[in-house]
Amino acid sequence: MKILHTSDWHVGKVLKGQSRAEEHKQVLAQVIEIARQERPDLVVVAGDLYDTGSPTPEATRLVTRALTALRRTGADVVAIGGNHDNGPALDALRPWAEAAGIVLRGSVRDTNPADLVVDGTTAGGERWQLAALPFLSHRYAVRAVEMYELTAAEATQTYADHLGRVLARLTEGFDEPDRVHLVTAHLTVVGASTGGGERDAHTVMGYAVPATVFPGTAHYVALGHLHRAQRVDGPCPVRYSGSPIAIDFGEQENVCSVTLVEVTARTAAQVREVPISAAVPLRTVRGTLAQLAELEPPEGWLRVFVREQPRAGLREEVQELLPRALEIRIDPELVPAPGSGARAAQRAGRSPQQLFADYLAGRGHDDDGVRELFDELFEEVDR
């Protein structure tokens, strides 16, 4: 059978005030075109369909139309909820999804675990079974009484243990020899590399689980959550497809792609990446105003590190030179580190009023009225 594995669409993403709706339309159109050309038997979307738990109507239309178009290629389609998605809201769409022939699992329900196990047969007669585990929050996976009674280290281990037990239950039938056994989940695996734009709170070690939570009898594990496409060492083939669009400037070096997998019940998975190039690239440029003026602006949305001292109007000057600049910052190399010797020397022996005046001047906001107000407030609290 052939599987198209994708994840982390983050539809509805706004980058520094710039909507990326048109980019997402082009990106998902390319994913759909790949499905039409490759004719996979199964499409797996491993979470984070949306960038926010409260997607706009436009974002909802785009996701539902993309899922429908993928189903119309003839493939079975299974999509799970990620940490950015509103799981119960996705589950509310299940009647629509079932009518469209799409399997949608937004959250773990307090019902039969079989609800998270999907069975199918390809047109060529290959039987398959997929354990589909949506994102589980730490609070949901580890009961409150355990969180209060356990140490941080014990709670972390308990989260991993919970995930391992859930997956063990979902994959109980993976010992059948004449069937392809698959897992999809939205989580962080120890040893995997982040892409640069993930939500930190859900990638720290408290949320990381060892690859040993996956059974050695699985033919392929399709993961979502980390935005960089990569293979993870484990007891079976474990892989993140990565995001098909760079979510933030921290991901500008990532190669956006979807993953295609060919596998049978008796043969190992063969994996290849298919690049996705439809999104506007993200670039970072550095320089003084004079250097930026001579720069041939690269294609894409820009992050600019300016090698100038802060002053009023600097942002506007950069914006005029580089209209596609979404983020403009003073180059970190020009800013002394907190507590550095240079900064400590600058502060030594100076009054709070003098330091505040320097602060205002350094940011182009030198104003007699503001300094006088600060002096009054400081005298009042220092009495």
Q: Identity (one letter) of the amino acid at 380?
A: E
Q: Is the predicted pLDDT of residue 377 greater than 70, yes or no? A: yes
The 8-class DSSP code of residue 375 comes to: H
pLDDT in tens, 216-258: 999 999 999 999 999 999 999 999 999 999 999 989 889 999 9
pLDDT in tens, 170-200: 999 999 999 999 999 999 999 888 866 655 5
Query: Sorting pLDDT into bands at 50, 70 and 90, what band is 382?
Result: low
Q: So what's the pLDDT on residue 333?
A: 75
Q: So what's the pLDDT on residue 285?
A: 94
Tokens 């491993």 correspond to 46
Q: Are 3 and 260 spatial neighbours (Cβ–Cβ below 8 Å)? A: yes
The first and second tokens of residue 165, run together, are 């037990």
Q: Is the predicted pLDDT of residue 111 greater than 80, yes or no? A: no
Query: Sorting pLDDT into bands at 50, 70 and 90, what band is 117?
Result: very high
- For residues 301-309, give the mean pLDDT: 92
Cα gap 255→281, rounded to integer Å: 10
Q: So what's the pLDDT on residue 370?
A: 74
Alpha-carbon dihedral of residues 137, 218, 39, 91, nearest 10 degrees? -30
Cα gap 348→141, rounded to integer Å: 51
Tokens 């670039």 correspond to 283
Q: Identity (one letter) of the amino acid at 303?
A: R
Cα gap 56→50, rounded to integer Å: 10
Length of the chain: 383
Cα gap 117→196, rounded to integer Å: 31
Q: Is the predicted pLDDT of residue 360 greater than 60, yes or no? A: yes
Non-local (6+) Cβ contacts of 80 within 8 A are 45, 46, 47, 104, 105, 106, 132, 133, 134, 135, 184, 185, 186, 224
Q: So what's the pLDDT on residue 352?
A: 78
Cα gap 83→87, rounded to integer Å: 8
Q: Which domains does the chain have, with CATH numbers?
A: 2-275 (3.60.21.10), 281-335 (no CATH), 343-382 (no CATH)
Q: Which residue did the predictor score with more confidence, 147 or 343?
A: 147
Cα gap 216→183, rounded to integer Å: 11
Q: Is the predicted pLDDT of residue 100 greater than 80, yes or no? A: yes
